[in-house]
């Protein structure tokens, strides 16, 4: 690395880490996420407490089929009170008056058709506390009528017991371990967080790059700079300096949020050192690819806002795998995941998701890395020409034909 590249890189790094936006975003984002996360937990706890409040459901039944024995319903189903009606109209009057929560009418042909009508007041779409367990009531009424022994009836009601079946799932090593909600949540949350961290750090750093280029062009500072160094040297220095900015930001976020999360959920997260090394590799490749593209295209913009519009179009490639994250997590080595790993614009994010989800074949990692490196090499050559051409353009953005003509002439 030449001395001029080091000087530019250091200047870019120091300038951007001192920006108020960098400090506020780097330190404020984890605090903001913690704040909203706490509100979410409190809201969920309050909602669960509200729905969990015990409510006695006074339910009326008109049984015209004679196929039900309702004597065991109340002892078996908590908070259910059964009131039998011989007259449907009397039951409907009690529903209207609010004396019962619902009226179930079981017709004479129930055993043949399974038809049941439930009359109730409208309590709102989300008022689940007043939902009558119609199926449970009918099942217990039917089974009690058949005269089966109680242990047999209870096993029919709960075929695998109250705790459910014991489920074993395959982990990354191929061993079968007990299903745990924390492990299953980590299986989706971990790749999602890494993918968001990758794309966020790339485009925040790229935003600083675009802003710096736009400000230097608008203030005509770029002309003074180019009198001392070449555009290629300036480009390399900016990329290296902003890579340091991105790594600093990611390091702070990882320290403030990632390390405590890893400690808290260490029993559920299965991320080998080799997978972590692969994630860091594609972090670097992703930044190198997108920063190089945006540097070349951003130099063609006539203002910071125009450069941001260009960046928004390019950024879609990095965010696209996040849209498909459920499919990628479910089939990390499937055809879709492998195809996205071979497309340079989607490869970094896709590989980060895959490697934090499952064991990825080494051949896939190597091929994806080589394709992305080749793309970076090609884009770097093209971006250096665009950078050289675009830095001295003022007033209007060049057309596509003018840009292509320049690329041919400078090749």
pLDDT digits (tens, 9 = 90+) for 161-186: 666 677 776 666 667 766 666 666 66
**Do residues 123 and 241 both lie within one domain?**
no
Q: State the CATH number of the domain containing residue 72.
A: 3.40.190
Q: Is 258 contained in some domain?
A: yes
**Do residues 326 and 250 both lie within one domain?**
yes
**Do residues 236 and 121 both lie within one domain?**
no
Q: What is the pLDDT along the chain (411 residues), one digit of tens a residue?
A: 678 888 888 887 888 788 777 777 777 766 666 666 556 555 555 554 544 445 568 889 999 998 888 887 887 787 788 899 988 999 999 999 988 988 999 999 998 998 999 998 766 554 545 577 888 888 888 888 887 777 887 777 777 766 667 777 666 666 776 666 666 666 777 788 888 878 877 777 777 777 777 667 666 666 667 677 777 787 778 778 877 887 787 777 767 766 666 665 555 566 677 888 888 888 888 888 888 887 777 666 656 666 666 667 777 888 899 999 889 988 889 999 999 999 999 999 999 999 888 888 999 999 999 999 999 888 887 777 776 666 555 555 656 566 666 656 555
Domain count of the fold of the chain = 2
pLDDT at residue 121, rounded to an integer: 78
Q: Is 33 contained in some domain?
A: no
**Do residues 348 and 258 both lie within one domain?**
yes
Identify the domain containing residue 100 by its residue range: 57-162
**Do residues 107 and 247 both lie within one domain?**
no
CB 276, CB 191: distance < 8 Å: no
**Do residues 275 and 383 both lie within one domain?**
yes
pLDDT at residue 159, rounded to an integer: 77
Q: Is 331 contained in some domain?
A: yes
Q: Is 3 contained in some domain?
A: no
CB half-sphere exposure, 60, CA atoms < 13 A: 24
**Do residues 230 and 318 both lie within one domain?**
yes
**Do residues 84 and 209 both lie within one domain?**
no
Q: Is 9 contained in some domain?
A: no
Alpha carbon distance 344, 374 (integer Å): 9
The model's pTM: 0.62
**Do residues 137 and 186 both lie within one domain?**
no
240-278 burial string, b = 16+ CB within 10 Å, else e? bbbbbbbbbbbeebeebbbeebeeeeeebbbbeeebeeb
Beta strands 168-170; 176-178: pairing state:
antiparallel
CB 90, CB 158: distance < 8 Å: no
Q: Is 13 contained in some domain?
A: no
**Do residues 346 and 248 both lie within one domain?**
yes
**Do residues 254 and 342 both lie within one domain?**
yes
């Amino acid at each position: 690395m030449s001395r001029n590249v080091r000087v530019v890189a250091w200047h870019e790094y120091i300038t951007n880490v001192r920006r108020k936006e960098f400090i506020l975003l780097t330190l404020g984002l984890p605090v903001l996420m913690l704040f909203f996360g706490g509100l979410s937990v409190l809201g969920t706890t309050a909602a669960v407490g509200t729905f969990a409040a015990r409510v006695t459901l006074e339910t009326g039944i008109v049984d015209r089929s004679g196929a039900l024995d309702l004597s065991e319903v109340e002892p078996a189903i908590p908070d259910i009170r059964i009131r039998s009606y011989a007259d449907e109209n009397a039951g409907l009057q009690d529903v209207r008056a609010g004396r019962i929560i619902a009226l179930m009418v079981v017709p004479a042909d129930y055993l043949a058709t399974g038809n049941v009508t439930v009359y109730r007041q409208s309590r709102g779409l989300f008022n689940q506390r007043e939902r009558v367990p119609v199926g449970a009531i009918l099942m217990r009424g039917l089974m009690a009528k058949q005269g089966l022994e109680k242990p047999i009836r209870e096993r029919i009601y709960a075929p695998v017991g109250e705790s459910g079946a014991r489920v074993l799932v395959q982990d990354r090593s191929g061993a079968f371990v007990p299903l745990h909600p924390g492990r299953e949540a980590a299986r989706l949350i971990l790749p999602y967080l890494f993918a968001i961290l990758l794309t966020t750090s790339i485009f925040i750093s790229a935003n600083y790059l675009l802003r710096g280029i736009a400000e230097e062009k608008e203030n005509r500072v770029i002309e003074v700079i180019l009198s001392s160094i070449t555009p290629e040297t300036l480009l390399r220095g900016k990329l290296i300096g902003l890579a340091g900015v991105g790594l600093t930001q990611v390091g702070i976020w990882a320290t403030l949020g990632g390390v405590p999360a890893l400690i808290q959920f260490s029993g559920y997260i299965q991320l080998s050192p080799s997978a972590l090394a692969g994630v860091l590799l594609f972090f670097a490749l992703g930044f190198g690819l997108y920063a190089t593209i945006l540097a070349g295209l951003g130099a063609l913009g006539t203002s910071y806002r125009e450069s941001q519009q260009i960046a928004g179009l390019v950024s879609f490639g990095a965010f696209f795998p996040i849209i498909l994250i459920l499919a990628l997590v479910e089939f990390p080595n499937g055809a879709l995941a492998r195809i996205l790993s071979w497309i340079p614009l989607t490869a970094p994010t896709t590989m980060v998701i895959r490697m934090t989800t499952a064991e990825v074949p080494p051949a896939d990692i190597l091929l994806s890395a080589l394709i992305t490196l080749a793309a970076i090499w090609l884009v770097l050559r093209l971006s250096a020409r665009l950078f050289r051409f675009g830095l001295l353009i003022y007033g209007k953005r060049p057309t596509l034909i003018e840009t292509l003509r320049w690329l041919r002439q400078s090749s």
